[in-house]
Amino acid sequence: MESVKSQSYDVHINELAEASLNQHVANRDYSKIFVLVDENTKTHCLPLFKKIFQHPIDAILEIQSGEENKHIHTCLQLWEDLSNLGGDRKSLLLNLGGGVLTDMGGFVASTFKRGIDFINIPTTLLSMVDASIGGKTGVDLGSLKNQIGVINQPEMVLIFPEFLKTLDPRQITSGYAEMLKHGLIQDKAYWKDLTEKGGFTDASCIQRSIAIKNSVVLQDPTEKGLRKILNFGHTLGHAIESYCLDNPDKKTLLHGEAIAAGMVLEGYLSHELRGLSKLSLDEIKKGFSKYFDKVDFTPDDIEAILQLLKYDKKNSHGNVNFVLLQSIGEAVTDVKIPEELFHRAFAYYKE
Note the residues at the interface with a second copy (CB under 8 A): 31, 72, 75-76, 79-80, 83, 86, 88-90, 110-115, 136, 138, 141-142, 144, 146-152, 311, 313-318
Toward a second copy, which CB reaches closer, 40 or 74?
74
Q: How far is the CB of 170 from a second copy (least distance, A)?
A: 29
Toward a second copy, which CB reaches closer, 109 or 337?
109
Q: How far is the CB of 211 from a second copy (least distance, A)?
A: 24
CA distances from 63 to 30, 43, 76, 104, 241 (A): 23, 13, 12, 10, 22
Q: How far is the CB of 73 from a second copy (least distance, A)?
A: 9
CB 184, CB 191: distance < 8 Å? yes
Closest CA to 198 of 184, 179, 213, 216: 179
Q: How far is the CB of 90 from a second copy (least distance, A)?
A: 5
Toward a second copy, which CB reaches closer, 143 or 326?
143
Euclidean distance between CA atoms 149 and 157, whole angstroms: 19
First to last CA, the chain: 43
Closest CA to 34 of 63, 58, 56, 53: 58
Q: What angle do CA 55, 36, 148 make, to 5 degrees?
A: 135
Toward a second copy, which CB reaches closer, 109 or 295?
109
Toward a second copy, which CB reaches closer, 144 or 218?
144
Toward a second copy, which CB reaches closer, 299 or 318?
318
Q: How far is the CB of 67 from a second copy (least distance, A)?
A: 18
What distance lies between CA 223 and its chain's CA centroid? 15
Q: How far is the CB of 40 from a second copy (least distance, A)?
A: 27
Q: How far is the CB of 9 from a second copy (least distance, A)?
A: 17
Closest CA to 91 of 109, 116, 56, 57: 116
Q: How far is the CB of 284 from a second copy (least distance, A)?
A: 29
Toward a second copy, which CB reaches closer, 18 or 241?
241
Name the helix (H) or strand (E) containing 94: strand 92-97
Sorted by sequence, the CB contacts under 8 Å of residue 177 that are 6+ apart come out as 126, 233, 255, 256, 257, 259, 260, 263, 288, 292
Name the helix (H) or strand (E) containing 36: strand 33-38
Toward a second copy, which CB reaches closer, 228 or 285?
228
